[in-house]
Structure 1
Amino acid sequence: MTGYAALLRGIMPSNKNMANDKLRGVFESLGFTKVGSVLASGNIVFDAAETDVPALEERIQGALREQLGIGGGTIIRSHAELRALLDRDPFGGRKHERGSYLIATFCKHAASAELPAQDDPLTEVIGYDADARAFLAVIDNSVPGKTPDFMVWLEKAYGKDITTRTWLTVQRIVKKMEG
């Protein structure tokens, strides 16, 4: 069995069909084991014998659409991929706090490590981790009334097959997988 995390796009906890118990129910109905949720924002951990990740993503997304009417997107990473990302410490020990909000944007498919130009002064792009297929950035959210455009910029550049998590959430997902 392999441990996976499904990073679901477009989950709104206020929508009763997107509640953690319903999301876990979909994964359990597909025969996955050790199903758990992390926070209320579409992070489901599970074990599966299957190793074809694109097929898993498609199967899960189909079940979410059919059973709950959720049409967002599903991006899967294995425990090994996420653990290795954390172990690489791409943020160099920086802390997730006001003024340095650490984020990882996961891409369904590999992306070019060469980032298109972006000039958002509130965003420091750390880079692209090819092994995790994730863009890493530090967002300065300490300026009142200013919202960084990094995620909008990434979606324009790479489409909707991406989803963003804070570094703290990635750490919580791995902790849940190892618990």
Structure 2
Amino acid sequence: MATGTVGRMIRYAALLRGIMPTNPNMRGEKLREVFTGLGFESVGSVLTSGNIVFGSTETDVPALESRIQKALTSELGIAGGTLIRSRDELRELVDSAPFGERTHGRGSYLTVTFVKSDAPGAPSRPLPAELAPVIEILGYDAAARAVFAVIDNSKGGSTPSHMAWLERMYGKDITTRTWLTVQKVLAKL
């Protein structure tokens, strides 16, 4: 990926890890203030789970992630993690229809786990036996740096174990969104 800046404005989504909307420092208006203070344009938030959209001419995504995370930590005490995807990356991801005909619902969650660009690719370890009946890993998209999974919520209690498995696989620099949230973020971009 190129470094530096270009003349063209690029629309990005910052997917923040560890956001708890009940914490006043983690609410949309405070998050937007940090992004605006960093000089980004057309800053907006999507839902309350740490999805910020913004415009920038910068093209060095790892540097952007680092700069944003430093500001979030120093200004708001948020140390969770920042992952960035461009509008074009999210558009390609959504257009690829990784979930096929499956639908997101109360009993069956369609999830996308975003990983850092230097993370390993497809999961290299199988799901633990206790998760196999309730989690289906559909695959890994290298361009989006994302793992797709379907979680059967009707059996309960699988999400924390699934997240722990993902962290063992990719480290803590990951964040998961439902497929519906990914689509809403893209629509806001």
Superposition TM-score tier, normalisation by shorter sequence: over 0.9
The 1:114–1:19 alpha-carbon spacing in structure 2 relative to 1, beyond 3 Å, is closer
d(CA) in 1 for partners of 2:68 and 2:17?
Answer: 12
What is the Cα deviation at residue 29 of structure 1?
Answer: 0.2
**Contact 2:139-2:147 at 8 Å conserved across structures:** yes
Partner amino acid, structure 2, of 1:147: S
Residue 21 of structure 1: CA displacement?
Answer: 0.1
Q: Corresponding residue for 1:97? A: 105
Task: Mark the runs of 5 or more structure 1 residues left unpaired by the alignment.
Answer: none
Residue type matched to 1:25 in 2? E
In the TM superposition, residue 114 of structure 1 has moved relative to its aligned partner by 4.2
Map 1:151-170 onto structure 2 (within 5 A): 151-170=163-182
TM-score (norm 2): 0.90
Per-residue deviation, 1:93: 2.3
Contact 2:123 2:169 in 1 (8 A): no
2:151 and 2:158 in contact (8 A); partners too: no
Q: How many residues align?
A: 176
Is 1:5 equivalent to 2:13 in the alignment? Answer: yes
RMSD of aligned residue pairs (Cα, Å): 1.1
Say which SS state the counterpart of residue 150 (structure 2) adopts.
Answer: strand
1:1-179 pair list within 5 angstroms: 1-109=9-117, 110-118=119-127, 119=129, 120=131, 121-143=133-155, 145-148=156-159, 149-177=161-189
TM-score, normalising length from structure 1? 0.95
Percent of pairs identical after alignment?
A: 62
**Alpha-carbon separation, structure 2, partners of 1:2 and 1:112:** 26
Unaligned runs of at least 5 residues, structure 2: 1-8
The answer on whether the counterparts of 2:43 and 2:52 sit within 8 Å (CA) in structure 1 is yes
Runs of 4+ that moved beyond 3 A: none
Paired with 2:57 and 2:39, the residues of 1 have a C-alpha distance of: 10
| Secondary structure of residue in 2 paired with 1:49 | strand
SS state of the match for residue 158, structure 2? coil
How far apart, CA to CA, are the structure 1 residues paired with 2:110 and 2:33?
31
The 1-side partners of 2:101 and 2:18 are apart by 30
